Every structure is written in C-alpha cells, then in structure tokens.
Amino acid sequence: MNVNSMDNSTRAQVLVQALPHIKKYYGKTIVVKYGGNAMISEDLKEQVMEDVVLLSMVGIKVVLVHGGGPEMSDLMKRLGKQPQFIDGLRVTDEETVAIAQMVLAGRINKSLVNLLQQKGGSAVGLSGIDGRLIQAEMKDERLGYVGKITHVTPDPVLNLLEGGYIPVISTLGCDDNGNIYNINGDTAAGKIAAAIGAERLIMMTDIPGILQDRNDPDTLLSEITSQEAEAMIQDGSVSGGMIPKVRCCIDSLAEGVSAAVILDGRVPHAVLMEILTNEGAGTMFRREKE
C-alpha cells in the first residue's frame, strides 16, 4: 500500500498495529548486517537508513554492521590490482588490507553515518579496530590478512547505545601485534550480536530467505530451527554463499541471540516489515519451535 494514498484513518490503524511490536522491542537491541543490493541501490540505501532511524526514534537500539566487497574490488581494479579469491574469500595482502581500511572504515562507513544523520538519527562510525572491538588472528596463510575472530569487546558498542547513538561498524579487526585483518561481515555481525546480547540479528541478502526448493521462490520458509537449517546444509538444500549466512544465524542463536532472520534487502523497508509487523519478512531462525 502506498502511504501517500492512505487516508488519515488508515494511517492511524497502521500505527496502532505497530504498537505491540514497538512495546516488544522497546529498549532492546537489534543488529542489522547491511549488504547486498540494498547497499548498492541508492533508493534502497535511503530506505534502510530511514528504517534504522525510525526504529531508533521509537526506543529500539540499532547496530548497523556493514561490509563493502564490491566497492573494494572496484577500487583495487582502478589502482591496477586484480582481486583474487580462494574458496570465495578475498586474498588480502598488505596493500589490499590498506585498501580495505580506506574503503570500509573510510568512505563507506562515513557515508552511512552521514546519511543516517541526514535522516534525523545520531550515528557514530567505528571499525572493529576501535576499542579493540574485534580481535582476530590469521584465518589461513594462503589468504593473508583475512581474520578469524578470537574475541569481541562489547564496551565500545554498548557505550554508544547507552548514549543514544546508532553504532555503524565496518568489519576490520586487529591482533596484539598491531596487524589489521579483513573480517567476513556476516560472521562479524553474528559475533557482535552475541557479545552485546542483541534480541535479534537481521541479515540482509539478495534472496527472499531460505527456500525449500531453491529454484522456487514460492517455497520460502517463514521459520526454521537451527537443527532444521543444519539438516538443509547437509542435504544440499542450502549451498554456496548461503552456507556462511545460515551458519552465522545458527551460531548466533547458540551464543545467546534470541532470534535471527535472513531477509531480502531488495524489498523496500524490509527491516521495518520484519520488526513492526506480524508477518515479518524472510526466514526466522529459532532454537526450537514455540
């Protein structure tokens, strides 16, 4: 329904229907892993930022975690450096990790902070290096400075949330020797959500969610347990790039997050639909069916 075509009575009904959901999440924290087409399309980007600001203004604490792989690849090519991948992970030498800092902690992070503030929010950008938020070690020598998370220090995020800010986090990490690592954004979002005791983790993707038949969008599962999701990985129903996203959701539940959702970031205002409507959006992961 187009909000501009609503009469005042319909607008009031929409707000009243959202009230129980606002009460449910008031004062609680959600972590949004922002990526995919919603990060590339300017229209979708604005809508996601509007969703985040609205939720913040009604008393729901929001943490925005972002990557930026396509932008990194674009800058690398412009600098004459060809991106290389092993098993879907970017090979990251010293020059590449410097580019990651420029793109992730610099241009992308600050542009998102600026856009949130244009929409009326109060945001602060930081990377996983700041306050030793994300501590990491080398994941695989073949990949170079690609990090495996060893510890998340929640204080920088909790302090910003307590101060009324929206933390915007780029997924870089560091170790005790000062080495900087590029961190998988999905993994970082799940670990951060667990460390800060988030009520919900939202993973934005470019697919509707988990499909029983991956070739049929009409087979979308609205809800799934961790055990069921693991079984779908084992039988091949979930494969390729969806595996790390699904495992991230499973792991976050095991580490204390109440619920995790994979949703289609191409749908306008998908985050609001997930949090403030009965129907939700995408596929919700639960430890067990209620």
In a domain, 6, yes or no: no
251 part of the active site = no
End-to-end CA distance of the chain: 31
pLDDT at 41: 80
In a domain, 4, yes or no: no
In a domain, 31, yes or no: yes
pLDDT at 55: 95
Q: Is 127 helix (H, G, I), strand (E, B) or coil?
A: strand
In a domain, 10, yes or no: no
280 part of the active site = no
Q: Residues 50-82, buried b or exposed e (16+ Cβ, 10 A)?
A: bbbbbbbeeebbbbbbbbbbebbbebbeeeeee
**Under 8 Å between Cβ of 104 and 72:** yes
Catalytic residue among 245, 264, 265, 280: 245
> Residue 87: which domain range?
25-286
Residue type, 114: N
In a domain, 186, yes or no: yes
In a domain, 19, yes or no: no
Catalytic residue among 36, 125, 190, 265: 36
Catalytic residue among 33, 45, 61, 191: 33
In a domain, 103, yes or no: yes
Q: What's the predicted TM-score (pTM) here?
A: 0.90
Number of domains into which the chain is organized: 1
Q: Using CA atoms, how far apart are residues 18 and 135, in angstroms rounded to an integer?
A: 38
Catalytic residue among 35, 67, 68, 69: 69
Catalytic residue among 51, 68, 144, 186: 186
pLDDT at 173: 96
140 part of the active site = no
Which CATH number does the domain housing residue 78 bear? 3.40.1160.10
pLDDT at 7: 67
191 part of the active site = no
In a domain, 270, yes or no: yes
186 part of the active site = yes
Nearest of 190, 208, 186 to residue 200 by alpha carbon:
190
pLDDT at 89: 77
pLDDT at 156: 96
Q: Give the pLDDT of the chain (290 residues) as one tens digit per residue.
A: 455 555 666 767 777 787 888 889 999 999 999 987 667 788 889 999 999 999 999 999 999 999 888 888 888 889 888 888 887 778 888 999 999 999 999 999 999 999 999 999 999 999 999 999 999 999 989 999 999 999 999 999 999 999 999 999 999 999 999 999 999 899 999 999 999 999 999 999 888 888 887 777 788 888 999 899 988 888 888 877 788 889 889 999 999 898 999 998 888 888 988 888 877 678 898 876 54
Number of other CB atoms surrounding residue 162 within 10 Å = 9
